[in-house]
């Protein structure tokens, strides 16, 4: 899309979009259109409402945002414009904000508008409408409107990358693909990128990571991205679970396997966030690790009851090969702590069905050994509509992971506290790092939504991590 902010001469043929808050709908209509008296039955600015009309040879689209809308609500309202009303848009669009809009609200609107161009019909013969050449004029009284529009463009681009990485099929999104994606980003954004193959991973002691990928014909890739800023305020470490497809291994999944291309939602969030941090040149140091594997089945697949090694030096009894995500995260966390002096560590993973059983599809399960980190993530998520809620990390739960034959087991095998015991497993590989947080995003990274008839990615974590980082600066 081609954005212009506050042009001297606005288009007379563009679709004119006017967002309206419910509490001042009449005032906004009077200010923007010079008339009042539009029946509230037709339009009153209520949340999720819209109304189109012809006025002075222009096509007008009114977008109702309700009262005190959240960031995500504004984003979704604007995403609907291109996603659900493509017939209204031709070559030009004018988005006309009233004085009552804050910078954050304008950002949410512009991000959402661009997300509306996203379609999952990657392999359809008839392609979705293309919007790269769409001219978008933005009217706002806010200062630095141009930089605000540029910022929104970077956020939208990162979120669409996260969506693509989850939504594309597993024959496309392989560990090698993620490694190549990281290398490409490294060249564009001047990041230091390392991608370990199986041989290099073995020499680095990443035995738990390698065990998971043993049954796949696709070589596992351990991906490390380093972003450094000369005026960094702190060093953040991110780890994202990158299981590009999960059969469950020999504990094979019995239902829903066709959705398991989404088991790298954590990796997608971490990679997209790294892209965004680099493009925005945020004054932090960031080290991101993505252990990328395919959990498949063949003669070499790892076995239930196997005892495997790990980067941390702990032996692991494999109770369930479908508890594979925590194994690759264990090595990712250990490698990060041992090789980089990070102030904080956050991992994101579509880890357990238990988190869905607890919170449904409303929020992520949050675990942390640092109260400030936990509160900061929770607050940041509330601000951008990517919510999380804390669960305990009490030592009694850790005892559930005791093994008779090894140092620890990867699954306690009981129908309770699955998300908590998984988090306790991960904590054992953090080498007592004082500021670690784990986000179990199984219920929020991929699911049903209004913008597709099938389950799709959500890009959960990108806005959350950006807001969290910026809140620390």
Long-range CB contacts (< 8 A, 24+ apart) of 250-256? 250/297, 250/301, 250/302, 250/303, 250/304, 250/321, 251/304, 251/320, 251/321, 251/322, 252/297, 252/322, 253/322
Contact 435, 427 (CB under 8 A): no
Q: Six-digit token pair at 24? A: 């001042």
Q: How many CA atoms lie within 13 A of 163 on its CB side?
A: 22
Q: In this structure, what token pair is assigned to residue 58?
A: 């222009």
Give one DSSP letter per residue of 422-452, joined into a string: HHHHHHTTTTT-SSEEEEE-TTTSEEEETTE
- Rounded to whole angstroms, the Cα distance separating 445 from 460 reads 5
Q: 285 in helix, strand or coil?
A: strand
Report which secondary-structure segment, H or E, holds 344. strand 344-349
Q: What are phi and psi of 175, to 5 degrees?
A: -55, -40
What DSSP string describes 185-221? HHHHHT-EEEEE-HHHHHHTT-HHHHHHGGG-SSPPE
Residues known to be catalytic: 253, 326
Q: Write out the two tokens for 179.
A: 């490694």
Q: What is the DSSP letter of 268?
A: H
Tokens matching residue 75: 């984003």
d(CA 156, CA 78): 12
Q: Is 339 left (phi over 0), alpha (psi -120 to 50) or beta?
A: alpha
């Amino acid at each position: 899309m081609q954005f212009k902010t506050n042009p001297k001469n606005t288009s007379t043929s563009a679709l004119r979009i006017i967002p309206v808050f419910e509490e001042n709908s009449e005032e906004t209509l009077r200010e923007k259109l010079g008339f009042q008296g539009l029946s509230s039955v037709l339009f009153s600015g209520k949340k999720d409402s819209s109304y189109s009309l012809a006025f002075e040879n222009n096509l007008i689209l009114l977008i109702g945002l309700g009262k005190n809308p959240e960031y995500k609500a504004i984003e979704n309202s604007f995403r609907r414009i291109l996603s659900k009303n493509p017939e209204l848009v031709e070559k030009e669009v004018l988005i006309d904000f009233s004085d009552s809009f804050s910078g954050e609200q304008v950002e949410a609107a512009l991000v959402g508008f661009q997300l509306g161009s996203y379609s999952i019909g990657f392999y359809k013969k008839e392609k979705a409408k293309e919007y790269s050449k769409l001219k978008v004029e933005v009217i706002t009284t806010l200062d630095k409107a141009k930089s605000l529009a540029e910022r929104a463009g970077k956020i939208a681009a990162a979120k669409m990358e996260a969506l693509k990485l989850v939504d594309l099929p597993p024959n496309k999104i392989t560990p090698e693909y993620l490694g190549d994606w990281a290398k490409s980003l490294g060249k564009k954004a001047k990041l230091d990128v390392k991608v370990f193959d199986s041989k290099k991973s073995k020499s680095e002691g990443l035995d738990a990571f390698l065990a998971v990928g043993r049954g796949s014909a696709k070589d596992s890739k351990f991906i490390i991205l380093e972003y450094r800023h000369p005026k960094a305020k702190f060093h953040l470490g991110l780890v994202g679970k990158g299981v590009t497809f999960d059969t469950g291994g020999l504990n094979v999944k019995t239902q829903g396997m066709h959705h398991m291309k989404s088991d790298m939602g954590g990796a997608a969030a971490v990679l997209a966030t790294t892209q965004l941090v680099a493009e925005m040149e945020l004054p932090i140091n960031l080290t991101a690790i993505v252990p990328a594997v395919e959990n498949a089945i063949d003669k070499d697949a790892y076995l239930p009851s196997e005892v495997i090694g790990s980067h941390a030096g702990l032996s692991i009894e494999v109770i369930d090969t479908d508890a594979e995500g925590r194994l690759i995260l264990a090595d990712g966390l250990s490698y990060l702590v041992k090789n980089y002096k990070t102030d904080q560590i956050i991992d994101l993973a579509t880890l357990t069905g238990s988190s869905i059983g607890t919170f449904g599809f409303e929020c992520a399960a949050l675990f942390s050994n640092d109260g400030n980190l936990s509160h900061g993530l929770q607050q940041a998520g509330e601000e951008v509509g990517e919510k999380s809620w804390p669960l305990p990390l009490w030592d009694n739960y850790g005892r559930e992971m005791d093994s008779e034959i090894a140092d620890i087991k990867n699954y306690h095998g009981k129908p309770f506290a699955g998300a908590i015991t998984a988090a306790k497993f991960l904590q054992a590989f953090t080498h007592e790092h004082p500021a670690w947080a784990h986000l179990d995003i199984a219920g929020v990274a991929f699911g049903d939504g209004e913008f597709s008839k099938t389950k799709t990615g959500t890009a959960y974590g990108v806005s959350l991590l950006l807001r969290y980082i910026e809140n620390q600066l």
